[in-house]
Amino acid sequence: MKPRITIGIDIGATTIKAAVVEFNSTEDKFCILSQKIVETRALDGPDVVIKQLFYVINEFLNENKQCDFRGIGIGTPGIVSLDRSTVKNPPNFSGWSEVNLGEVIHKKFKLPIIVENDANTAAIAEAKYGAGANYNDFIFLIWGTGVGGGIILDRKIYRGPTGGAGEIGHITIDYNGPVCNCGNRGCIESYIGQRYLSERTRKKLQAIPKDYPPSKIIELAGDNLNTIDPSIISLAAKRGDKLAKEILLEAGTLLGIAIASMFNALDLRVAVIGGGISASGKLVFDAIRSSVQSRALKSIKPEIIIIPAKLGNTAGMIGASTFVL
């Protein structure tokens, strides 16, 4: 039996993570044989990003000359064309409107290349090998800088007519809400995406109620409110900080509203949530659960499952790899 060895790449706004991934014959198990991380250099334009990709792929091919690679799977921000080759408008990438990444890389390495949106690659990894493995249908969310998503229907990723599906972060939860990066008002992302959450935390710290103890958030931020990010809020909450707990509780409750809308419209019951902030654990997940529970339709309520993702940072690379097989 020929080994099923692939290269899986996850292009992020700051780093490119890449791995050589081997799958067993039934594809129900995988093994990461080696990993590399290089800078993406997204602000230097697509040519530089492609050079970085060439570099990391070359390294893997040179180090594993005896291997018969099946192909290269690539997860990337932005909308990926239906033929899984061209990447459109990845946010925070300079000078990049539309690049046929699949073609460029195939030309260089003569291997099959599959490109897919990064939330979708992570979703499919969780569906096959992670927290979603027991469920045919679920919503996958990455809660980090933004709120990205992937929709798994009948064990497959739902890509939509142009490949852009899964933008769960841009579901409105309050039409009079804050202006979102996308131009709309009151998207769930505009409440709980990293930048917005940090900003709201700063405001709350400035108006902290008199009966509250001094917030551990300030201590952890080294007295510089500009350094506040969700990991600091999570840490403060874990150390018992009242305000930090309230902020995470509210964020979870708000996310639950968007999830309930999706559950109701699509008849779903399961959400798998990954990304940095979701690591804050039980407090946040309990808040999400009770919010979805109070808002979902009667037929859905008894079967709601909200669980953390399992594969963490590797999900993107593994998911990208599975598309190759």
Report if residue 295 touches a second copy, rule: CB under 8 A: yes
Q: Contact, 112 vs 72, CB < 8 A?
A: yes
Burial call 265-299: b when 16+ CB within 10 Å, e when fewer: eeebbbbbbbbbbbbbeebbbebbbbbbeebbeee
Report if residue 200 touches a second copy, rule: CB under 8 A: no
Of 10 and 137, nearer to a second copy (C-beta) is 137
Report if residue 97 touches a second copy, rule: CB under 8 A: no
Report if residue 165 touches a second copy, rule: CB under 8 A: yes
Of 136 and 227, nearer to a second copy (C-beta) is 136
Is residue 250 packed enough to be buried (19+ CB in 10 Å), middle (13-18) or exposed (0-12)? Answer: middle
- Sketch the per residue contact string, 104 through 143, with a second copy: x for CB under 8 A, - otherwise: --------------------------------xx------
Which of these segments, 37-45, 179-187, 192-200, 237-245, binds a second copy (CB under 8 A)? 179-187
CA distance 123 to 280: 20
Report if residue 205 touches a second copy, rule: CB under 8 A: no
Smallest gap, in angstroms, from Cβ of residue 212 to a second copy?
24
Contacts of 22 (CB under 8 A, 6+ apart): 3, 4, 5, 6, 30, 31, 33
Q: For residue 18, what is the DSSP state?
A: E
Report if residue 26 touches a second copy, rule: CB under 8 A: no
CA distance readout (Å), 311 to 78, 142, 281, 318: 22, 12, 15, 9
Smallest gap, in angstroms, from Cβ of residue 104 to a second copy?
22
Which of these segments, 60-68, 103-111, 205-213, 288-296, binds a second copy (CB under 8 A)? 288-296
Smallest gap, in angstroms, from Cβ of residue 291 to a second copy?
9
Report if residue 170 touches a second copy, rule: CB under 8 A: yes
**Length of the chain, in residues:** 325
DSSP string covering 40-86, please?
Answer: --GGG-HHHHHHHHHHHHHHHHHHTTT--EEEEEEEESSEE-TTS-E
Q: Which residues bind a second copy (CB under 8 A)?
A: 79, 88-89, 136-137, 149, 151, 153, 158-168, 170-176, 182-186, 254, 257-258, 260-262, 264-269, 294-300
